[in-house]
Amino acid sequence: MESAIPFFQGNIRDETQSNIFFMTEIFLGNLPQVKLFDILKPLLNGKKTGKVFIKGKEDGEVYLSNGNIVQAKTSHSRGEYAFYIIMNWETGKISFDPGVSSRERTIEIPTERLLLNWSDRKQQWEKIHEVIPSKDVIFRLSLLKNGEDKNISADRWNVLALCNGVRTVSEMIHALNWDEFKTLDTIYQLVQSGLLEKVEPQKLLKKKLISKDFFPMFESELKKVIGPIAPIIIEKKLMEFGETEDSLLLDHVLPLIKAVGEEIPDDQGREEFKKEVMKFFSIGK
């Protein structure tokens, strides 16, 4: 930190003294050895214009215009939420491109208010990070330890529907198309309320997904006894299980076969369907 800021001040001239900008990227430090807020502070106070670039596992950009933060973006988000996400990063190389401006403005609130909002969120981020230390973490529904009624909002329900013990937090962020903070905070609240639990890595390794060859066969056999509505029935039952064709665990296949078979009204047809489907496993697929 002590070496980064003097280096910056000695290599960029004040815009009020010169119209010449050095368009060379300037290295300012590495997280966590330096704090991003400590990097931004002299840039804001000096009314600088340019792009702060953070390169790490994910790249982030914060654009300044005359000392105001006007744009922030990551690969998944833009605007205020992107700024909050970037400010929470713990690793990355920080550099500055003086004079570079953003073509769009996604942050309209005053910079002072933006920083105050970030400060308010900082404590919540720290709590979330204790429960969700990585976006590779996986959650699943937990058994309720009491009989209390739970009020579940639409947002929480959407998260619960995706927590099948296979999807990572990163995959859920992509599927929901929410900003990262909203997704992580919703998961955190569900964990705190006892509705979700973390899948331990050693348990995850024991679980296997069903072969990709299963569903074409499954649908074909069902069509033989129930006709063209077979794909609709399979999709409906998968939704009831909170699964997809890409995420169905081998352990859940037999319950799915049974549930689909119950949709076949003819007893003989139902038994024939189950018999043919089970041949798939007898030949070692």
Write the DSSP assignment of 25-88 as a string of letters. Answer: -EEEEEETTS-HHHHHHHHHHTT--EEEEEESSS-EEEEEETTEEEEEEESS-BSHHHHHHHHT
Q: Which of 11-20, 27-36, 43-52, 198-207 has the lowest mean pLDDT?
A: 11-20
Render pLDDT for 130-147 as a digit per residue (tens, 0 to 9): 999 888 899 999 876 665
DSSP 8-class letter at 94: E
Render pLDDT for 10-23 as a digit per residue (tens, 0 to 9): 343 343 333 334 45
Render pLDDT for 48-94 as a digit per residue (tens, 0 to 9): 999 999 998 889 999 999 999 999 999 878 898 889 889 988 889 99
The secondary element (H helix, E strand) that includes residue 136 is none
Strand partners, 27: 95
pLDDT at 7: 41
Sequence-separated (6 or more) residues with CB below 8 Å from residue 178: none
Domain parsing of the chain, residue ranges: 4-120, 132-205, 214-280
Q: Using alpha carbons only, what angle is made at residue 25 by residues 24 and 28, rounded to the nearest 5 degrees?
A: 135
Q: What one-character-per-residue DSSP string does 206-242 give?
A: T--BPPTTHHHHHHHHHHHHHGGGHHHHHHHHHHHHT
pTM beyond cutoff 0.75: no
Q: Which class is domain 132-205?
A: mainly alpha
pLDDT at 217: 92
